[in-house]
Amino acid sequence: MPRLLPGTSPETDLYALTDDELSLGRPAVEVAKALLDSGIKILQYREKEKKAGQMLKECMELRRLTREAGACFIVNDHVDIAILCEADGIHVGQEDLPVEAVRRLVGPDMVIGLSTHSPEQARAAVASGADYIGVGPIYPTQTKKDVCAAVTLDYLDWVAANITLPFVAIGGIKRHNIADVIAHGARCCALVSEFVSAPDIPARVAEVRAAMKKECFYR
């Protein structure tokens, strides 16, 4: 399958993440299937409170579903699980294993994403060989317990003007503010609670895409 990187084509406009705690009691696999059926082409498995065995089991199933959907499957933090389930990518944070070390473990073909919160971190990500960066949190968010302060749209403006790597905007992005994020240069937006907490996930994805004014996105 070709490498699908954030914001590099119209189909990679949205980046979805799992979160069992916000999914209205639905298991990650059920939520993921609804997201994939809605046309999501980048899906990250991000579960912080589960045992490794359960995470591997779920990731193996999500790997099967994403292959069937032609979607990119990314595992958050857990390099060992990403390797074992043959994920397309791994996403790490500033305090996780450095990109250079992750590359030694996963080889040349797996996508590596790195969260960044400042111009210095973005420049370092480029130098490290990351394939894409996360830019955020744009707005305050409670979906991560160890999240830093919001970087605001100013950092997004800087990345859009100065970084050539693909990037995904993340953090507090909802239907009501996603158009602003797009206006500041984002070509891919990550949403967590807005998707997984929706009773009707396909309808919510459609609403978000309408709010993005997708028809004007790639003129």
Handedness of CA 127, 133, 139, 140 (dihedral sign): negative
Residue 81 contacts residue 92 (beta carbons within 8 Å): no
**Scanning the structure block, which residue is given the tokens 């193996």?**
60
End-to-end distance of the chain based on CA atoms, in angstroms?
26
Instruction: Reply yes or no on whether 144 is catalytic.
Output: yes
Element (H, E) at 75: strand 72-76
Instruction: Reply yes or no on whether 46 is catalytic.
Output: yes
Neighbours of 84 (CB within 10 A): 16
Closest to 184 measured CA to CA, from 132, 115, 136, 147: 136
Handedness of CA 71, 29, 192, 49 (dihedral sign): negative
> What is the DSSP secondary structure assignment for residue 61, as one 8-state letter?
H
- Choice among 23, 41, 63, 115 that is catalytic: 115
Residues 198/203/207/212 CA torsion (nearest 10 deg): 100
- Choice among 33, 41, 46, 103 that is catalytic: 46
- Choice among 63, 103, 144, 209 that is catalytic: 144
Instruction: Reply yes or no on whether 26 is catalytic.
Output: no
Q: Please identify every residue annotated as catalytic.
A: 46, 115, 144
